[in-house]
Structure 1
C-alpha cells in the first residue's frame, strides 16, 4: 500500500519536514503539504521595493549551527550563502547613537567599560562592583533574563543593552523572556556554581565558538531556499487550503480542510507533521492530543511588522540601529541598514534598502500601513539627523505584518513544550518556532526531528 503523509504548514518547517519525509520514505510515498497562504514560505517572505527584492521576515541564519548550514548545502545552495560586512549595529538611547556594548553576551556586558556612555557613573558602578556582592542563585531556577540582569547590573543595563538585543530576536523584552529559553549557556554556568553574573558571562564568552562569520544569508533571499525545498520534496503542495482539525480512528489520520475539499483527498494518512504556529497546532490537535493541545494553546504570540524601504542618499555607517526600550522618542524598535550590513545589497546609484520593525509582546501593531510608513519615515529622519545626515528621501516602501509572528519564550516554556511533545500519540509530530527556538536553524531542527519520528513510525507499520 502507498504510504500517505500529511504536512500541515507551508513555511520553512513544513517544507523541510516534507523534504526529509521524501528522503526517508522514498519516491513512492504520497506527501500532501497544506499551506493556508497563496504561496509557500511562511515567515520566509520578501517584498519588492523600487524594483528590489528584500526579505521582510527572517533575514539571516547562524552559520555556526549545523541545521541551516547543512540543509543549504544538501540542496546545492552553498555557493549562494553570503556573509555580512564588518559594520556593527548601534544602540539608540537618549536621543543619540551609541556603540553596541562589546564584549557582551546577548547584550549582557562582560565589563562595565563595555557599556560606554549608555549608562551614567552610578549605573556603571553597579556593574563594576557586581562580583563583590553575594550571588543568590538556585540551581534549576526558572527566572527571566530581565529579573537576573536587573538584580545584578541594574534596570538601565536591561533597557539599553539587553532589551535591544533580545527584542530583535524574540519581539519581547528581557523581563518577559526565560533565561533558560533565551541564553541557556548562561543558565548552565550559573547552575554549575558561577560566583557572580560577571564571572558567568566571562565563562560563556571564553568558550570557543568556531571560526568565520556568525551569520549568513542567501544571495537571492530566503525565497531561494523555499523554491529549492518545494522542488526537492516533490510533494503535492496545496496552497490556499486551511486546515480545521486533525482526527483519527485509531489506525489512520484524517485532516479536515476548510476549503477546496472537493479537490483534496485529506483522509487516511499514516502520519501527520503539524508545522504551524504553536497556538494553531493546539487548536488542530484538540481532539487527537488534548494534553499537548492545551499546552500549545497556552503560548502567547508576539506580533510585529516590518517596513521595507528604498531610499536615496547616504545612510548611517552601521549595520543597523537597536532601540533602547526606555527610549520614548521613537516608534520603531530596530532598523536594519541592509545596504550597509550585506555587501551584496550595497547601495547602487545612491539608492539603499533598509528595514524598520515595530511591535513586540503586549504591544500589537494596529496602525494602518500608511501610518506605519509615516511613523517609520519620521523615525528614520530623527536617527539619520543624529548621525549627521539629511533625512532620507523615500523612493518606495512596503509593509509586512506578522500579527502572530513569534511565540513567547517565557520562563519554563522549554520544559512545558518538551513535556507536551512527549504526550503526542504515535504518527503525530510538531515542528516550528514554538518548541526549541525561534530562529530558522531551530525550525529546521524540529522539522528534521519530526520527520525522523514519523518515518520511524511508518516503517514500523510496513
Structure 2
C-alpha cells in the first residue's frame, strides 16, 4: 500500500465502532480511508448525555472502569485527559430485609471475602449467614467447565448469597439472572482462582489481596459526562461519519465487500476493501447470514435485556437527610420495580458543583424477563421512581425535572457457554478475508472492553490489507 486510500467501512457508530475508526486512522494514516455508518440519528450508542434541571447528566453508562486502561487512554488520546474525574464516594448499600444495609466489605462482584464483615452488614438472615460460613469447611467444588454463577455460588455459600448479593450486582451490570449467566464470562477472575482455591471466600480474599497497592478509584467518568467521549473520538479520528444510514445487506466481492444501505426503493451501494461490524449481535447476525452463516447462527443465540433509566432532579431540601453513599442495589427477591438507585450528585462531586442546591439521581428499572414493567409509559415510570424515593429515602414533594431513557435490547447476556460461542464466532469470521467484529457482545460490556475489541478488530483489518506492513502504534490503549 502506497497511499492508495484503501476503504474500510465500520458499521455502527457506538464507542466500539468509533474506536475502531480511531485505531484504523491512527495506525494507517492516509493509507486507509474510513467511513462509519450509523443507523440512528446520532453517534455514541449507550453513551449519551443531556440536561436534567440544567445539569448535564449521562442518560446511559455514567462511568467506566479506571483500573483497566483502554478507556482512559482513549479519552486521553482524544484530548479529554483533563476531563477525567473520580467518584467522591463508592459506598453503596443493598435494600434488603426491610432496610438499606451497607455492602459487605471486600466483596468481588458480590462474592464476600470477609465473612465476619458479611455478618455485620446484616444483608443475610442468621440462617443464611450460617450457610455462607460453611464455605470455609466444605470440600472444594471442582470447576471443570463453564457453570452458571448461581449454581457455583449456591453450592459454596447457599441461596441467600446468590439472592441478596450476587443477583443485585449482576442485575446492575447485565440486567440478567445469575441462574443463566456464565461464571467464566461474567466473573473470569473468580472462575480462574476458584479452580485452585478450596473455598469461594478464599478465592475472593486472594483476588482482593492481589489488587495493586495504591491502585486508585475503581471508576472514572468525564466532567461533561461519558456522552462526550464518542464525540471527541469521532472528531479526532479523521473518519467520515454518516448517521441515519442503515446497512441492509453485506456481500463479498472479488476485491472486498459490498454494503447495501438506504431504503429498499432507492438503495445505495458502498464498496469497501474491508468491513468492521460494530453493531449488536442480532443486526450483525443478519448481515452475516449469507456470507458467514456459522457466525450468524451463533450471534442469533445471544439474548439481550432491556432497561430504562429514570433521572430525577430534586431540590436539596426535599431530602430529610442528604444521602451519604453513592446509591443502593435491590435484589430481585424484594419484588420492587426499581433495581438500583444512584445518587449522582453525591457520587460525582462535579455534578454537585454544577448546582449545589439540586440533587440529581438515577433509578434503573428492568431486568431480563421484566419487559412488562417497561411497557408502562414515561409518566408511569417516573411515578415508580418517585414512589421509590419517597418510601426508601423519605423524599418530599415533586422533582424539579425528570427524564426517561429507554434502552431496548441494550445489554447482551453472557450465558453459560458464552466464551465458547464467541470463539466460534471469531473462528468463522476469521475465515472471511477483510472482516472483523467488535463491541459489547463479545468480551465485556464496559467501555474499556469495547475499546479493546475495537483495537483488535482494527489490527485484523490492517493485517488483511497489507500483511507485510509494520503499522505505526496507535498509543497505549
Give the TM-score, by structure 2 length. 0.91
Q: Aligned equivalents of 1:275 and 1:437: distance in 2?
A: 14
1:52 to 35, 48, 55: 55
Whole-angstrom distance in 1 between the partners of 2:161 and 2:396: 30
2:420 counterpart residue number: 415
* From 434, 448, 451, the counterpart of 1:427: 434
Residue matched to 2:277: 274
Q: Is the 8 A contact 2:5 2:30 kept in 1?
A: no
Work out which of the residue numbers 174, 177, 185 in structure 2 matches 1:173: 177
Are positions 1:285 and 2:291 aligned together? no
Q: Spell out the pairing of 1:30-69 with structure 2 (5 A cutoff).
A: 30-69=33-72
Any conservation in 1 of the 2:134–2:157 contact (CA below 8 Å)? Answer: no
The secondary structure found in structure 2 opposite 1:333 is strand
Displacement, 1:95? Answer: 2.3
Match of 1:121 in 2: 126
CA contact (8 A) 2:134 2:156 kept: no
153, 157, 172: which one pairs with 1:153? Answer: 157
Deviation at 1:97, TM superposition (A): 0.4
User: Conserved in 1, the CA contact under 8 Å of 2:141 and 2:156?
Assistant: no
Which among 426, 444, 449 is matched to residue 437 of structure 1? 444
Say if 1:119 and 1:157, in contact at 8 Å, map to a contact too: yes
- Tell me how far 1:179 sits from its aligned partner: 0.6
State the alpha-carbon separation in 1 of the partners of residues 39 and 417 from structure 2: 31
Instruction: Identify the residue that residue 78 of structure 1 maps to in structure 2.
Output: 81
Would the aligned equivalents of 1:47 and 1:398 in 2 still touch at CA under 8 Å? Answer: no
Q: Which residue in 2 is equivalent to 1:350?
A: 357
Match of 1:186 among 175, 185, 190: 190
> 1:340 is matched with which residue?
346
Matches of 2:188 and 2:387 in 1, distance apart? 38
Alignment CA distance shift 1:26-1:149 (3 Å):
same
| Structure 2, unpaired ranges of 5+ | 470-477
Of residues 390, 394, 399, the one that matches 1:394 is 399
Distance 1:202 1:409 in 2: 25
Cα shift at 1:6 = 0.6
Within 2, Cα distance between the matches of 1:457 and 1:258? 28
CA shift digits 1:30-87 (9 cap, x unpaired): 2211111111110001232112221111111111111112111212211110000135
Counterparts of residues 194-233 of structure 1 (less than 5 Å): 194-209=197-212, 211-233=215-237
Q: Deviations over 1:76-120 (max 9, x none)?
A: 211110000135111101221000111111111113322221112
**Aligned counterpart in structure 1 of residue 386 of structure 2, from 374, 377, 389:** 377
1:275-331 C-alpha deviation (Å, 9 max, x unpaired): 001221111111111111110111001110111111112342210111122112x31
Q: C-alpha distance in 2, partners of 1:391/1:96? A: 19
Q: Is the 8 A contact 1:271 1:428 kept in 2?
A: yes
Q: Is the 8 A contact 2:89 2:325 kept in 1?
A: no
* Aligned residues: CA RMSD: 1.8
How far apart, CA to CA, are the structure 2 residues paired with 1:435 and 1:50?
Answer: 37
Which secondary structure state, in structure 2, belongs to the residue aligned with residue 105 of structure 1? coil
Find the aligned partners of 2:356 and 2:25 in 1 and give their Cα distance: 45
Q: Is the 8 A contact 1:88 1:100 kept in 2?
A: yes
8 A Cα contact 2:260 2:269, kept in partner: yes
Q: 1:265 to 1:29 in 2, by over 3 A?
A: farther
Q: For 1:243 and 1:31, locate their aligned partners in 2 and report how far apart those are by CA, in whole Å.
A: 16
Deviation (angstroms), 1:27: 2.3
Q: Aligned residue for 1:366?
A: 375
Q: How far did residue 28 of structure 1 move?
A: 4.8
Q: Matches of 2:55 and 2:305 in 1, distance apart?
A: 28
> Which runs of 5 or more structure 1 residues have no equivalent in the other structure?
none
Residue 145 (structure 1) shift: 1.0
How far did 1:461 drift? Answer: 9.3
Secondary structure at the aligned position of 1:402 is classed as strand
8 A Cα contact 1:47 1:308, kept in partner: no
Alignment of 1:83-98 (within 5 A): 83-98=86-101
* TM-score of the aligned structures, taking structure 1 as reference length: 0.94
Shift of residue 260 of structure 1?
9.7
Cα 1:454/1:87, change in 2 over 3 Å: closer
Distance 1:108 1:125 in 2: 15
Partner SS, residue 79 of structure 1 = helix
Q: Which residue of 1 aligns with 2:167?
A: 163
